[in-house]
Amino acid sequence: MDLLKLIVLLIAFGAAMFIAYTVIREVVPWWNRRIGRYVSWIVEAMGATGEEVAEPRAQRLVSASILGPALLMIALGAWPLAIPAAAAGFAVPYAWVRFKQYQRRQKLDNQLVDALILMANGMKSGLSLLQALELAASESRRPMGDEFTRVVKEIQLGRSIDEALLGMAERIGMPDLEMAVHSIVTLRETGGNLSETFMTVANTVVERKKIEGKISALTAQGVYQGVGLCAMPFVMALVFYVMDPEYMGPMLTTGLGWLMWGAVIILDALGMWMILKIVKIDV
């Protein structure tokens, strides 16, 4: 009798594994097709920042960020928050990629002045524009050096200097670099002193950074106040929970309480976004 039970259990286990394998084999390709465009964007965007991300790794990242929070809410019994949690998880890879792009753009912005001054001094010493670009490619730090190296390689492969520079400006998307590139292209068509143009753009960028620093100092108080206001509901909830756990119990154990937390998070995020929009001043 015991042997019969064991055989039945083994058959049931094998059937369950077969069903699970069949479901996974069908669901995984379907899921990968649904997130395929998102994954492709992540791979392409990260490649543009100089950090290669393999497509399987991006698929795992997106799947974990979407399904993980949803399954966690279901396990905690807060099933009404499963969809909002999945939506928030969907935005995590996007925010991560944008943060990486922002970091790279900040590095490029900080290195632009040095590269322009380096090329201006090189052209004053008698170098051609191509030689000045090669000098910037070899002497500039990453990631600016990588961008100039790509420009030089494109020129060596037959692309014109103007097209290579315009491609770099479009790829990076920095207003200061676009101004410098368009000045170079215009002067190459009409004639002019490129070294003086490089120095003028470099001085303009330096002055802009000074103004941005003053504005950041003046608006920092508003940002800190916004952070304090947005953190207050969570701090007060923690204080009340320490003082009287039973009083805060319904907020942590009922569906209505989780819905209220979801509303708090959404309203907090909206308020912080509005504060940042108000204090952000483009120069």
**pLDDT tens profile 110-130:** 888 888 888 888 888 777 878
Which amino acid belongs to residue 239? V
Helix, strand or coil, per DSSP, at residue 54: coil
Each residue's pLDDT expressed in tens, for the chain with a length of 283 residues? 566 666 666 676 666 665 655 656 666 677 777 777 888 888 888 877 777 778 888 888 888 888 888 888 787 776 777 787 888 888 888 888 888 888 888 888 888 888 888 888 888 877 787 888 888 888 888 888 888 888 888 888 888 888 888 888 888 878 878 888 888 888 777 776 777 777 887 788 778 777 877 777 777 777 788 888 888 888 888 888 788 778 777 877 787 888 888 888 888 888 888 887 777 766 5
pLDDT at 274: 84
pLDDT at 22: 62
pLDDT at 13: 62
**pLDDT tens profile 205-244:** 778 777 877 777 777 777 788 888 888 888 888 888 788 7
CA distance 267 to 272: 9
Share of the chain above pLDDT 70, in %: 87
pLDDT at 6: 65
Q: Are the C-beta atoms of residues 223 and 275 closer than 8 Å to each other?
A: yes
pLDDT at 37: 84
* Length of the chain counted residue by residue: 283
pLDDT at 5: 66
43-81 as b/e, with b when 16 or more CB fall inside 10 Å?
Answer: bebbeebeeebeeeebbebbbebbeebbeebeeeebeeb
Per-residue DSSP letter, 254: S
Per-residue DSSP letter, 35: T
Please choose, from the candidates 225, 232, 223, 224, the residue with its C-alpha nearest in 3D space to the C-alpha of residue 268: 232
